[in-house]
Amino acid sequence: MLIKKPSDIKSSEITPESVYKNRRQFLSDSGKLLLGAAAIGATPAIVNAQNGAGLKARAPASMRRVGVEPWWADKFANIKPAPDAEPYYTGEAMAPYDDVTKYNNFYEFGMDKSDPSSNSGKFKADPWSIEIAGEVAKPGTYHLEDILKPHSLEERVYRLRCVEAWSMVIPWIGFPLADLIKQFEPTSKAKFVEFETLVDPDSMPGVRSRFAIVRWPYREGLRIDEAMNPLTFMAVGLYGDVLPSQNGAPIRLVVPWKYGFKSIKSIVKINFRETMPNTTWNDLQAQEYGFYANVNPGVHHPRWRQDTERRLPQTLFSRTRIGTRLFNGYADQVASMYQGMDLARYF
């Protein structure tokens, strides 16, 4: 087993007290800012932060995490805010924090949308290691802290489009995948990047379910030019806070011009390959889920149309259906990578 098994000892019990209290003070101060905004009528989940970080949105104070490792405190105290223009900021209304964290596909925790938030209480994202393998100059198994150390965190507000024809706008925190790739120096043979999700039956009830339809581990992949595109993002947080377990803690992929199943969660292995990797949904139903999975309103899923989408959140009195755009609205940044390709064949 390449992944280190987490200890039962809480971070607060092994962290120097002074560092731990500083993290708690940081979170407390953030919460006070949110409460102040709420007092003048703002919605906490989408309020514009008026603090030094300048983030587009912060998690509600009641849901912010405390007692995490001290190196996270340093990272999350210096997040570069998203700009005020495309492609790293949409200008659209962001989904409330509650929807982003309670409406998820993460089959390792169950098949219903509410299962990940309900069933991930035993999941531990610290300590965490990632295996770097294949066609790279620096293969090995690295602690997450060592992987993240060279990278500054930034905020990006992206559209997320699910192949099930629903969508959200989410403020992610992370860094470009291209920066991580350069860190490990892929060779000229690296034409594809393959990713794997953690498999842990003890903390992931969906893995041990006899009704599971996925052959674990969950696997995804990108062409190397897709992985190096400036939009492709390694997320370690959302709404200014660390990733919740149900959203792919501690580190996940975000590829905003592709359907959501490409944005693999809780990554434990990154493998650089010369040949195209097998991917989970393409293996299960190749006629429904292509390797590329680019958002395309002109290519419909066999069981539902893809030219419109339900923009979440929705209520009984407010149901928003909008038109889907090619490459999820990011065509200016990514269309050149597929020039000359038949997008109906390579879907």
Instruction: Give Cα 6 to chain centroid, integer Å.
Output: 21
162 labelled binding-site residue = yes
247 marked among binding-site residues: yes
318 known member of a binding site: no
Q: Strand, helix or coil at 127?
A: coil
Q: Rounded CA gap, 44 and 50, in Å?
A: 12
Distance, in Å, from the CA atom of 173 to the CA atom of 241, rounded to the nearest integer, reads 8
315 marked as binding residue: no
Tell whether residue 229 is among the known ligand binding residues. Answer: no
Tokens of 186: 């892929």
Residue 264 annotated as part of some ligand binding site: yes
Q: Which helix (DSSP H) or strand (DSSP E) does residue 130 occupy?
A: strand 129-134
| φ, ψ for residue 80, nearest 5 deg | -75, 125
HSE-up (13 A, CA, CB side) for residue 136: 21
107 is in an annotated binding site: yes
Q: Could you give the residue ranges of the DSSP H alpha helices within the chain?
A: 11-14, 17-39, 70-76, 97-102, 115-119, 144-148, 177-184, 205-208, 224-228, 280-284, 331-334
Residue 267 bridge partners (DSSP): 197
290-to-106, 115, 138, 141, 328 alpha-carbon distances in Å = 19, 26, 31, 30, 16
Q: Name 283's Cβ contacts closer than 8 Å, sequence gap at least 6.
A: 215
Q: Is 309 annotated as ligand-binding? A: no
User: Is 182 known to sit in a ligand binding site?
Assistant: no
The verdict on whether residue 108 carries a ligand-binding annotation is yes
SS3 161: strand
The residue among 19, 92, 89 whose CA lies nearest residue 54 is: 89
Which residue from 76, 260, 228, 75 is spatially nearest to 158, judged by alpha carbons? 260
Detail the residues annotated as belonging to a binding site for Mo-molybdopterin: 104, 107-108, 162, 197, 247, 252, 263-265
Binding site as annotated, residues:
104, 107-108, 162, 197, 247, 252, 263-265
